[in-house]
Chain A
Amino acid sequence: MTHNGGGMIARRDLTVRIAARTDLSPTCFRFILETAEEIAAVPGQFGMVTCGAGFDPLLRRALSIAGVARREGVTRVELMVKEVGRGTNLLRHATVGSTLRLLAPLGNGFTLAPVEGTCLGLVAGGIGLPPVLFAAERLAARNVAFDLYVGAASGGELLDVERCRAAAIAVGGDLVLTTDDGSAGEHGFVTAALQRRLDGGQRYGRLLACGPNPMLAALTRLARERALAAELSLEEPMACGVGVCLGCVVELEDGRYVASCKEGPVFSVDRLAARWWP
């Protein structure tokens, strides 16, 4: 039974202004949303965003927060969005300067604490980048060491590479890029690149990852085989984002279904049901 309102950061439903929109790839774009109100968020948390007036699409879209900063009385929230259907198409064509509603921050975040004697491994696949990049920049600001693995279908779909590189370099870490088609970086899946480095003796105190489910399943297998701590940010179809619809549940190892919008979206791999390491 969940009582909210006592969480670490208060949820708010705010009208925000679309201050900028930039294409990041043929399918992905960046939104900068501005408000005079304060919004705090930690990497892994998400927001529910309206996409257009009217009843079609009916529901908000759950979007992972890629960054949040407050300067001179203005909060700027960064989102990265992949156009996958009607809702995200409407968002892509929303007028810069117009407003939408943002319910945020929601859910929990990655564990960013350093692990004594090792560095962290950050792994992103495709549009799973936003919470991982947010984590990388927060870690860099705290001088916590990490390597950053970023995979995409092709070179053109690798997002924000220079920012990824800058975050990794700031703590002396590596940026490892992979593409499924070999058009940039290492050829193959990002989890395969991670596995090669683990086989070569690289050690990580904790893996933090977000990406498509097959990638997260591969990473779960890898983490469990090698007894590595790992946290995954999961994406499930979600109606409300606030724990009442019970649509977005994730099955845990003990058989329970828990709402990923409240107990997640970040889950430690040792809590997840067996379907994550088939």
Chain B
Amino acid sequence: MSIRLDTTVGALKLANPVLAASGTFGYGLDLLEFCPPESLGAIVTKGLSPRPRRGNPTPRIVETAAGMINAIGLQNVGVEAFCREALPELRARGAVVVVNVFGERMEEYLEVIGRCEGEDGLAGYELNVSCPNVTAGGMEFGHDPAPLERLTAMCRAATRRPLWVKLSPNAPDLVATARAALAGGADALTLINTMRAMAIDADARRPVLANGCGGLSGPAIKPIALRMVWEVHKALPGVPIVGIGGIETGRDVVEFLLAGASAVQIGTAIFRDPVAPLRIVAELESFCEEHEVAHVAELTGGLQWR
């Protein structure tokens, strides 16, 4: 039986539902011999700001039980270097590229989108309004529905390309932020970003990370991510969701699709295994064969409640 793996996120057609998550796949060209970007449904770039960002002091990462906490601080080369140095090759390879957009102020989000609008071969934007590791921007938009709606609407006015908003699991009211992003004109919601967390060195009596706190990722957060995808899907049926949080296997993907996601992103798993996204695509296909699922898109929202 030949399985159809193609899916759509809003108007965006994807060859398969497995994407590389922002901040775990560089600018798409770092792991060519393990995972060519064109073999994935799409890749989401490292968060890009108008100008290069240095990022946070070290230590920036710490491993925890079934997870890790990071406080990278959005170190990136800036949108100009990305468009000049990486985008031409991504385009030549036929990769589907979603630009993750970050700014400290609303105008900076527009600067990044404005620069990208001049380039062919970009599939869409994902607004990063949920980074827990920077003092300005990021999470402050992601936690409060009113500014989030304003930011999304401004970005909506700046592009006709698909616009996704990556939501924070740290927001006091997840569904309210989801509604705000949609009211502002988002085409899809990505959830979830990392969960605010900390690790403490008992000997030194100090936080392990130089930043104090960071964002927890990996299998430890998968059950929370699944619950959040399901809650948003239930509250806002029909809204395209890109699920993310601790996905390690094809079966994990199926769980996210059943909860209501149309596609998923693989993040921390890439750190363990640079081939992970491709392995996960193969596992997803096997699952569909075994369970006689002809088209992977049939799984979306297919959770049987009781």
Query: Inside 8 A of B85's CB, which chain A residues have their CB?
Result: 1
A240 at the interface (CB under 8 A from B): yes
Chain A interface, number of residues (Cβ within 8 angstroms): 35
Interface string of B20-59 (1 = CB under 8 A from A): 0001111101111110000000000000000000110111
- Among B24, B218, B274, the most chain A Cβ lie within 10 Å of the Cβ of B274
Closest to A256 in B: B54
A10 at the interface (CB under 8 A from B): yes
Interface string of A63-77 (1 = CB under 8 A from B): 000000000000000
Asked if B77 contacts A245 (CB within 8 A), the reply is: no
In the complex with contacts A247-B72, A249-B55, A249-B75, A2-B61 CB distance below 8 A: no
Q: How many A-B residue pairs have CB under 8 A?
A: 114
Query: Inside 8 A of B275's CB, which chain A residues have their CB?
Result: 13
Query: Inside 8 A of A173's CB, which chain B residues have their CB?
Result: none
In the complex with contacts A236-B58, A240-B271, A55-B218 CB distance below 8 A: yes
Asked if B30 contacts A55 (CB within 8 A), the reply is: no
Separation in Å of the A43 CB from the closest CB of chain B? Answer: 23
Interface size class for chain B? 35 or more
Interface string of A231-255 (1 = CB under 8 A from B): 0000011111011111111110001
B173 at the interface (CB under 8 A from A): no
A57 at the interface (CB under 8 A from B): yes
Within 8 A of A (CB), among B243-279: 248, 268, 270-275
Report how far A248 CA is from B75 CA in the complex, Å. Answer: 12
Query: Inside 8 A of B60's CB, which chain A residues have their CB?
Result: 237, 246-247, 249
Top 8 A-B pairs, shortest CB-CB distance: A247-B61, A55-B66, A240-B271, A239-B271, A1-B85, A244-B26, A55-B219, A5-B32
**Extra inter-chain contacts (8) besides given A244-B30, A246-B72, A247-B60, CB under 8 Å:** A3-B29, A3-B30, A4-B29, A4-B33, A11-B33, A58-B67, A245-B70, A246-B75
